[in-house]
Structure 1
Amino acid sequence: MTGKIFAAAIVIVALVFGAVVYYTQVYYYYEPVQANGSTDVMLLNTATGEREPILYENFEAIDANSSPIRYRACFTTPMSIPMLTETYEIYEGAEPRVAPGWFDCFDAEAIGGEIEADTAVVFVDERNREFGIDRVVAITDDGRGYVWHEVNDCGDKAYDGTPLGDECPER
């Protein structure tokens, strides 16, 4: 009888621990980001090398201080992709990161599908926002936009232990 009670206690403790870990990963660390209405969405101008705000509406964002890649944002813009591609730097190889299920506007699979289908273009917002992390902005043909943080080549090298090259900034 004592063995059954001990086994039940282990199962209960494991379930409670699992629930706490799930809650902390999916809900606890995330906080809504308050939009400032002017510089929440910026792109890197190819001519000047400076970040510039673009027109946007309906901005929603979340972030967490537990990781530099947890930032996600959604917005709409009246700006067209042809105009944006003439002015702003395109980001190659971006893959949207999965957002918590409760952040409904950001569906990484759908955004990735639009990028693959060439109905969305990814632009640079800021390179090395934090060492090894770039902020990127994807904009679709119909004016929906998404922002997330992408691990760049320097970040990949730093995290897997590969020696950093001269092209990487100082940490």
Structure 2
Amino acid sequence: MTGKILSIILIVSGLVAGIAMYYLQVYGFYDDVVEKPGQDVVLLPIGGETPEPIAYGNFQAIDADSSPIRYRACFTTPLKPAEVAQLYQLSDAREPRNAPNWFDCFDANTIGQALHDGQATAFISEKNIEFGVDRIVAITEDGRGYVWHELNNCGEKAYDGTIVGEECPKRPQTN
């Protein structure tokens, strides 16, 4: 009898822990980003170091404090990728990170396919928005836009244990 009770307790505890972990990963840590008109979608000009805002609308975004790469956003813009490419720095990012299924405006597979097929173009929004993380903006031919965070060369080195070289900015001290 005692063995059955302990087994039931272990099974129920495992189920509760699994459900809690799933909820926290998919829903719990994400927050809606409050829109800041004229500041949410910016691009890095060619030869410049200060990002500039572009025209956009229908902005929606999510973010989480638990990781610097959880930011995702969607927007619309009247701008075409070809005209934007003449003014702003291109990015070689072609595989956006997945968003939670409930954030349905951001489909990483569709965005990645559009980037590979030339139906979308990726741009650098901000470099080192956090240490080793760049913000990437992709704009499609039909005026939809997407934003996500991507590890840059310094971030990949820092997080895989490789020695970070001179070209990387100083990593912020944490307590």
TM-score w.r.t. length of structure 2? 0.94
Asked whether the equivalents of residues 96 and 112 of structure 1 are also in contact (C-alpha less than 8 Å), the reply is: yes
Runs of 4+ in 1 over 4 A off after TM superposition: none
> How many positions carry a matched residue from both structures?
171
**Is 1:80 equivalent to 2:88 in the alignment?**
no
Asked whether the equivalents of residues 93 and 136 of structure 2 are also in contact (C-alpha less than 8 Å), the reply is: no
Asked whether the equivalents of residues 47 and 87 of structure 1 are also in contact (C-alpha less than 8 Å), the reply is: no
How many Å separate the matches in 1 of 2:155 and 2:44? 20
Q: Matches of residues 66-105 of structure 1 in structure 2 within 5 Å?
A: 66-105=66-105
Structure 1 residue aligned with 2:63: 63
Q: CA deviation at 1:106?
A: 0.5
Runs of at least 5 residues in structure 1 that lack an aligned partner in the other structure: none
Q: Matches of residues 17-166 of structure 1 in structure 2 within 5 Å?
A: 17-166=17-166
Structure 2 residue aligned with 1:4: 4
> Which AA in structure 2 matches 1:78?
P
How many Å separate the matches in 1 of 2:23 and 2:102? 12
Percent sequence identity over aligned pairs: 54
> Which AA in structure 2 matches 1:70?
R
CA RMSD between the two structures: 1.0
Asked whether the equivalents of residues 96 and 111 of structure 2 are also in contact (C-alpha less than 8 Å), the reply is: yes
How many Å separate the matches in 1 of 2:86 and 2:49? 14
TM-score w.r.t. length of structure 1? 0.96
How many Å separate the matches in 2 of 1:69 and 1:80? 26
3-state SS of paired residue (1:87): coil
